[in-house]
């Protein structure tokens, strides 16, 4: 298990890895530029996750 102090960082790392994989696979299946697909997926996914995290912290207090 992950130490409590590393929970958020390890979650971000796991999600980042999943976003890279899904962006690559989606671009490959759609015969599109893989770098653009990965970049688009990672940026939108991390932005969405960060916004959700911050809103959750804001409302939880």
Specify whether the CB–CB gap between 36 and 10 falls below 8 A.
Answer: no
pLDDT at 55 (0 to 100): 94
Task: Kindly state the DSSP code that residue 5 receives in the 8-state scheme.
Answer: G
Q: Is the pTM of this model over 0.85?
A: no
Q: Counting Cβ atoms within 10 Å, is residue 37 exposed (0-12), middle (13-18) or buried (19+)?
A: buried
Q: Which two tokens stand for residue 3?
A: 């130490």
pLDDT tens figures, 2-55: 677 788 888 899 999 999 999 999 999 999 999 999 999 999 999 999 999 899
């Amino acid at each position: 298990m992950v130490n409590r102090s590393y929970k958020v960082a390890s979650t971000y790392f796991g999600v980042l890895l999943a976003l890279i994989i899904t962006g690559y696979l989606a671009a490959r299946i759609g015969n599109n530029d893989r770098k653009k697909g990965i970049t688009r997926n990672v940026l939108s996914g991390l932005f969405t996750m960060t916004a959700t995290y911050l809103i959750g912290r804001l409302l939880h207090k």
